[in-house]
A and B are shown apart, each in its own frame.
Chain A
């Protein structure tokens, strides 16, 4: 590496970095702009970079209050969709953690026949085309009468959250040296005592990160929510498709809805940055 302060490589690198940041930030900036523009500004051409900002779009989308000379109530289903996402995602993550933590511990500590087969099967779910599970569930759920229900969706979302949770937490448990458990056994603790006093405190940050990441993946999920929900229970990410199909003109509101939809994921992601690489690669790469 050149040690001069103003080498060509360094200048090109800085330019590269700036371009990269522009590329990353621009779409977010632009859509945010659209969300605070009036309906007229939004469709104006040339596109306006400078304008009077308004919170009207957010008001319509979130509160159902539109300014039509005076504030009137308009129909907005968005809050309901947002709430649905909260319910389904929390539920799915809770179930995955409940079931996944013991399974992860079991995979990390014990040897039993078919262990690696089971682990690989779980991993293979990550790469399978979602439709291959969703379509049968669509048919089966309707027959069972749980189509469009929250519990149906929480169960279906396990395909997304469970393999991830198990694989990631398995890694966290494996990070605890066996010797600590040996020492605790000699010190007189039972299996449950060791789990509670040694393992859990040490994996607690990992479990929290796993839960948050699972939540993000569930929140960002489209197909499961799109196909297996009714209009009443639709989560927020699939609901955005509704904005496209018929409300061609209300780009500002669509932008506002998009911004609100992506905010939870982005904010949570910043919180668990440390574990992001590990999470995205199912534990294969330790960030």
Chain B
């Protein structure tokens, strides 16, 4: 039975009574259509489905057991988590500073803000290619510039010790504007009165920052964390374009690993197991973070 949110009563006519459901039916069908592949993945993760041979026998939790025993899986998990923590910390930190810098009212601010947002609108693979060109160890411009100021060059994407940091750098290039713009919007939406009251009370800037700004920005901070953490956990584009997961699996995140299991080694069932694990982590985390966000929003609006 459908009701209108404001309680309007309609005359008994089939179309008008069920208008809500009818409007929403096509989207619902598409959503179910999208859910079907999810189901497929979960089901097939319990088989030994192989792309080349075409076999798919039910093997219970065999793939998952194999996963737990697989050092490559644990490496992927480690890489994924390190990548996430590194990238998110960097992006949130610099993004916050960027929001501050772009809110000072300096000359040309509108232009700077427009320029600042550009990287996040780039296709990430294009950004990866751009940086890969610049990070070429011998001919890349980055090493050249470093040497100009007397610093040693780096192997960047070519060495397993620096590759992860390098892709974090590329990811940061693309997504610092994401964090920065959202923080900027959050800061601009801050109410004026509490700050005026604090100024009258004569409290220090640091105090207002700590006790007023941060709590009031909590919803915005959580949103940035939510989107960035989820995106980094499932990350594929930049790493695949820049290093393809190497060198020596230094940048092999779970998604890339899963891709190889499907297309290089055609062990799709095993690949699905990776993805189901990843998805489970992401789903639980997103549920938690969305809950935190709702709580933060109601706290901020309750004052």
Contact = CB atoms under 8 A, between A and B. Distances in A.
A204 B140 CA distance: 47
B293 to A, nearest CB: 7
A198 interface: no
Contacts of A132: 37-38, 41, 272, 275-276, 278-279
A20 to B, nearest CB: 6
A285 B30 contact: no
B74 interface: no
Interface in B102-149: 102, 104, 106, 112, 114-127, 129-134, 138-141, 144
Interface stretch (B60-68, B82-90, B157-165, B255-263): B255-263
Interface string A210-246: 0000001001111100000000000001101101100
A240 B125 CA distance: 8
B53 interface: no
B2 A241 contact: no
B4 A244 contact: no
A100 B120 CA distance: 25
A1 B20 contact: no
A103 B23 contact: yes
A105 B26 contact: no
Contacts of B275: 129, 131-132, 135
Contacts of A23: 173
Contacts of B112: 17, 21
Contact-residue bracket for chain B:
35 or more
B4 A111 contact: yes
> Is the contact region of chain B dominated by helix, strand, or loop, or is it mixed?
helix
Contact of A136 (B37, B220, B223, B230): B37
A223 B237 contact: yes
Interface stretch (A51-59, A67-75, A250-258): A250-258
A135 B178 contact: no
Interface stretch (A76-84, A144-152, A270-278): A270-278
A47 B144 contact: yes
A223 B236 contact: yes
A209 to B, nearest CB: 14
Given A17-B102, A111-B4, A24 B37 contact: no
Given A118-B28, A265-B122, A136 B44 contact: yes
Contacts of A266: 118, 121-122
A31 interface: yes
A183 interface: no
Contacts of A134: 37
Interface in A91-125: 98-100, 102-103, 105-107, 109-112, 118, 120-125
B181 A276 contact: yes
> By CB atoms of chain A within 10 A, which of B30, B185, B233, B268 has the most?
B30
A88 interface: no
B13 to A, nearest CB: 11
Nearest to B230: A127
A186 to B, nearest CB: 11
A182 B2 CA distance: 18
A13 B107 CA distance: 12
Contacts of B23: 102-103, 105-106, 110
Nearest to B229: A127
Nearest to B4: A110
B40 interface: yes
A124 B286 contact: yes
Given A124-B286, A129-B234, A266-B122, A111 B38 contact: no
A173 to B, nearest CB: 11
B288 interface: no
B27 interface: yes
Given A27-B131, A265-B122, A111 B5 contact: yes
A185 interface: yes
Contacts of A222: 123-125, 236-237, 240-241
A171 B177 CA distance: 23
Interface of B: 1-6, 8, 16, 19-21, 23-24, 26-28, 30-31, 33-38, 40-41, 44, 51, 97-98, 100-102, 104, 106, 112, 114-127, 129-134, 138-141, 144, 173, 177-178, 181-182, 184-186, 189, 205, 219-220, 223, 227, 230-231, 233-234, 236-237, 240-241, 254-255, 258-259, 262, 268, 271-272, 275-276, 278-279, 282-283, 286, 290, 293
- In the A-B complex, the 4 residue pairs with the closest CB atoms: A103-B27, A110-B20, A136-B37, A220-B123
26 contacts: A13-B101, A23-B173, A27-B127, A28-B118, A34-B133, A47-B141, A100-B27, A102-B24, A110-B3, A110-B19, A121-B31, A129-B278, A130-B236, A131-B259, A132-B275, A132-B278, A135-B275, A136-B44, A222-B124, A222-B236, A240-B125, A240-B126, A251-B133, A266-B118, A269-B121, A277-B181
